[in-house]
Structure 1
């Protein structure tokens, strides 16, 4: 497996290091890459100092330094929780969160051509209950055509979707009535006509591992049972005919292929058992991808991330010794795993 470095030493350093501290960021909170690795987005942070968090966009192989996008409009700053490219490398959507001093979370959409301007920014919902985690814990998804941005707001347990063009709200899961409840794992199909997510409402667990498929235009909601104890992530096939759900059943990672157009009791097409999981890895959230190479996902166990071919149920590569300060992400085509640490960004080619 070939490994390529995607940035020069020092390119991720903070511009405003604290006195007596190194310029290197202390943590990478998120990383995203385009197919072909034409651009890489890296979010760095300095714990206890949210004002030093930065969002960088790199063009590997180019001569220009990384572009730094504005992420905070006022003190004490913001922390990037998730980010995702769309329309190739023309746009970047970012989820911000923070602590109790930075409320609530936000979503911002940047147009990277020509200058990286911020097109819009929207606030997320307040928590339903105080114990539902950090403000702004939003996991993002973008339609294949780049027109729809969606996410499950971890704090309010609600599903949200916006028009990428102007930030108009397409789905407001916190509205009454009706509430559309989801938690973290979410996917959008190629044209934004369907959202799929882990069904969740306050203090309620989805029956039979239910996955919800929502049509934003009509509001139609279908629940498909998977038999999973936990849903870690989802991805639509490029043609939208199938939906893969990666989750956990009986202590093992399992990929369930669903046909959303079928009746709920006949929706399961195939199951693939991947590997046994220890308890500490049983409730992670990740983002599978489904490109020309088929459905793939990067699954963490301890300090090792393994990339799986979900259709074959086979491991493609394992990258060990990844620490808490490191982030990783598959490219949209599934052909490379990008790993970002405070010191470097590298790509592990998968085929």
Structure 2
């Protein structure tokens, strides 16, 4: 019986790892559809596999790290032949999300992202700090293999680091939200959601394809979606905007017209990074405030119920004793008046 249970558990873990590897590989192929070239090195402005890897570790635990390694190996084999430096990239791509997961666990991260500290931890610990490993190892391997000149190290490193961090900032919150969502979702505000979706699509297209520099127009939408739909609305808006901005940047149209590759990379990554930070932190603040207000309201309601119960319990005991006391006091006064 114990052997059967262990075999079943091993089979479940194996299936989870295969699922993580498949999702990692599919996300990698999707991310490679749009890329930029910096100093002869090709990179993706948003690398979704890092977000999938961190989310898988947070939901399923450390046991799925082999699936991350397998998915990374499949992506690397799709891009190039297996060489010694490729193994370094494989180690870096696997170690980065694992270290990010361990650091998030160490700071008490909650996957529901209901507190501001959770949003800050995901940004500064999971994304910006954890992804230092993959970018540093990856670019170092390129230099060691003589596929990248040393003077181009920092430019390529910055592009690699921001791309990996963007995958965590945008993809991980959405996957955590999807995992915790109740199905079927409630559509009490479907009219507002539909209208907001249409407005967002129109503004995003204008921002991405207009020759004017109108990237700032997306921030009022982020505020609106965060106020009304919290994390789900703000992160979906950020994802749509990042994808459209990346397409415009790779095609060098709209606000990216006339810029060289370095300028395109800097402008795109600065816009995507600030937008993702705004969406994630703002929605975390709003969610925390609403949860705090709900907790205070519940506490006040419980206090009212306790007071009502105490009042109802004291009234029967207080009534008869008061009347008895009054009757006892009336007798002597009447007798005194008679004498």
TM over 0.5: no
Q: TM-score, normalised by structure 2?
A: 0.25
Q: Name the structure with the higher strand share.
A: 1
Larger Rg: 2
Which structure has the higher relative contact order (CA within 8 Å, separation 6+)? 2
